[in-house]
Amino acid sequence: STILVTGGNGFVAAQVLIAALERDYTVVSTVRTEKKGEETKTALSSRLSPAQLSKLSFAIVPVIEDEHAFDKVLTENKFDAVVHTATPFILSAKDPKEITGPAVGSTKSLFKAINDLAPTVKRVVLTSSFASVVDPAKGWRSGYVYSEKDWNPISWEETHDGDGSHAYYGAKKWAEKAAWEYMEENKPHFDLVALCPPMVFGQVAQYVPSAEALNTSSAALFQMLSPGANADGSIPPHSVALWVNVADLGTAHVLALSAKDASNKRFIIAADGTYNNKAICDVFRSHFPDLASRIPTKVPEGFNEDGTPIGGSYTADNSLSKEVLGLKYQSLEDTMVQFGESVKKFVQ
């Protein structure tokens, strides 16, 4: 089976590539430059055998929101399925259109190109987000159980109000909406599976030249290992209650390629329970004792001594992912050890 994966040099995509190549898929991945393809192959060479790596190739797509961005790669190959991961994950964009443009635009250009030019594609797996599920305005929303029926109610105007977090959360919501609308309006020859992960943590397997170049969710963790950032000993407050291991998310994408009953469904891909930064600091301290003195200990205002938000928080129902995809979830402790091992080289 041959698949197309967009944005193959990203944090999540690295694990999608690993999971797919380990399961014998042939993969063509889009990246913005030749160099990013080469760097990705080098980065993955410690995780995959030469035989597995030989089934990975790259196609250059510099501007994913261009109407015809994906025409060439889709006509030059015969794909069975497509995984769309590429989206800017930046929470501090000055211009919201820098996020919504590529996020929504690429979804539209890709779906139309597959429909027009790639008759062999049977399924598209979209990397959406818990950002398109959660209602951030409701805060910690104690006791509420989010499920796949929930949609972030953010409006297009609020998405573009200049707040970087609104831009990203909105972009994810509008991109997933655009995907479902395309399905509804065009009844294409392929079906859709949307995956909605919350904070994604774990092994950094993609090419990263320095700590400054870490992806957004890994950078949030690395901050807790950076002495300057924790000068007063305060643990940075977390803002999302849920998380998932990035390798589990990679596996989820590959399971979603073939799970029959996944057709035209969205899935919350989140580990059981909740996490908080105090719990993460505790894991770091016990597994990386050399770094213990720099890891913050003081619980921030608004949180209990165990790091949970005062008053409790929402959770999510992940049962659909277990039942339909057969997904199993790793523990927070194992996930943080995998993260720590993979970024130790950046710790100064």
Q: How is the chain split among helix, strand and coil, in percent rounded to 5?
A: 45, 15, 40
CB of 293 to ligand NDP, least distance (A): 28
Nearer to ligand NDP, 35 or 345 (CB): 35
Confirm or reject binding of residue 121 to ligand NDP (CB under 6 A): no
Positions in 215-234 near ligand NDP (CB under 6 A): 215, 217
- Regarding 86 and contact with ligand NDP (CB under 6 A), the answer is yes
SS3 64: coil
Question: What is the dihedral angle through the alpha carbons of 173, 176, 182, 187, rounded to the nearest 10 degrees?
Answer: -140
Cβ closer to ligand NDP: 199 or 283? 199
Q: Which is nearer to ligand NDP, 188 or 197 (CB)?
A: 197
Q: Which residue, 217 or 277, is less far from ligand NDP as judged by CB?
A: 217
- Pick between residue 175 and residue 283 the one whose CB is nearest to ligand NDP: 175
Q: How far is the CB of 187 from ligand NDP (least distance, A)?
A: 25
Nearest partner of 109 among 56, 149, 66, 142, judged by Cα? 66
CB contact at 8 A, 109 and 280: no
Site residues for ligand NDP, 146-165, by CB under 6 A, read none
Indicate whether 88 belongs to the interface with ligand NDP (CB under 6 A): yes
For residues 174 and 294, which CB has a smaller minimum distance to ligand NDP in the complex? 174
Which of 168, 149, 150, 152 is CA-nearest to residue 160?
168
Residue with tokens 């030019």: 117
Site membership for ligand NDP, residue 64 (CB under 6 A): yes
Min dist CB 245 to ligand NDP, Å, is 11
Dist CA 257 CA 191 (whole Å): 10
Nearest to 155 by CA among 109, 196, 96: 96
Q: In the range 35-54, which residues lie near ligand NDP by CB under 6 A? A: 36
Interacting residue with ligand NDP among 37, 96, 102, 309 (CB under 6 A)? 102
In angstroms, give the least distance from the CB of 336 to ligand NDP. 14
**35: amino acid identity, one letter:** K
| Neighbouring C-beta atoms of residue 156, cutoff 10 Å | 11
Q: Which is nearer to ligand NDP, 194 or 225 (CB)?
A: 194
User: Of the candidates 306, 191, 257, which has an alpha carbon nearest to the alpha carbon of residue 1?
Assistant: 257
Using Cβ positions, the residue closest to ligand NDP within the complex turns out to be: 10
Within 8 A by CB and 6+ apart from 119, the residues are 189
Encoded tokens for 130: 């818990």
What is the binding site for ligand NDP (CB under 6 A)? Answer: 7, 9-13, 32, 36, 64, 85-89, 102, 127, 129, 172, 197, 199-200, 215, 217
